[in-house]
């Protein structure tokens, strides 16, 4: 079954996923910006070009951006389990001081 959202056939002949190469090449901040740019692209065109498939692509890119931002923002916090922010439902970068997260908005990492 063809999956144009997660594994497009036009990239199937590559030895590595193109998104993995992009993620490895850009800085973490650059990768988040790249993802948000793609979210904007797919959401902006979905009615005229790709339909629901474009919304699904936007969802994937948004998920990657959130994942990377949580990784950057919450690393070292009590809310971070090494892969996911445990307070991801919080409105502010997944941080919820009531749930034990120790990193506050504007706090330096150093």
For the stretch 17-70, pLDDT in tens is: 889 999 999 999 999 999 999 999 999 999 999 999 999 999 999 999 999 888
In a domain? residue 8: no
Between 7 and 40, the higher pLDDT residue: 40
Q: What is the pLDDT of residue 80?
A: 66
Domain membership of residue 86 as a residue range = 78-105
> Per-residue b/e over 66-96, b at no fewer than 16 CB within 10 Å?
bbbbbbebbeebebbeeeebbbeebeebbbb
Q: What is the DSSP string of 19-59?
A: HHHHHHHS-HHHHHHHHHHHHHHHHHHTTTTTTHHHHHHHH
| pLDDT tens digits for range 71-94 | 877 776 767 666 666 665 454 444
Assess if residue 10 is contained within a domain: no
20 found inside a domain: yes
* Residues 64, 35 share a domain: yes
> Are 69 and 22 in the same domain?
yes
What's the domain count of the chain? 2
Model confidence pTM above 0.85: no
* Same domain? 65 vs 29: yes
pLDDT of 47 reads: 97
Tell me, yes or no, whether 69 and 34 share the same domain. Answer: yes
Domain-embedded: residue 98:
yes
């Amino acid at each position: 079954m063809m999956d144009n959202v997660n594994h497009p056939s036009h990239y199937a002949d590559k030895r590595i996923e193109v998104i993995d190469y992009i993620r490895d090449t850009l800085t973490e901040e650059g990768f988040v910006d790249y993802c948000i740019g793609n979210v904007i692209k797919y959401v902006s065109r979905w009615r005229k070009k790709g339909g629901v498939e474009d919304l699904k692509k936007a969802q994937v890119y948004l998920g990657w951006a959130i994942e990377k931002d949580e990784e950057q923002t919450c690393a070292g916090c009590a809310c971070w389990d090494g892969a996911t922010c445990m307070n991801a439902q919080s409105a502010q970068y997944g941080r919820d001081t009531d749930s034990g997260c120790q990193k506050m908005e504007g706090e330096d990492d150093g």
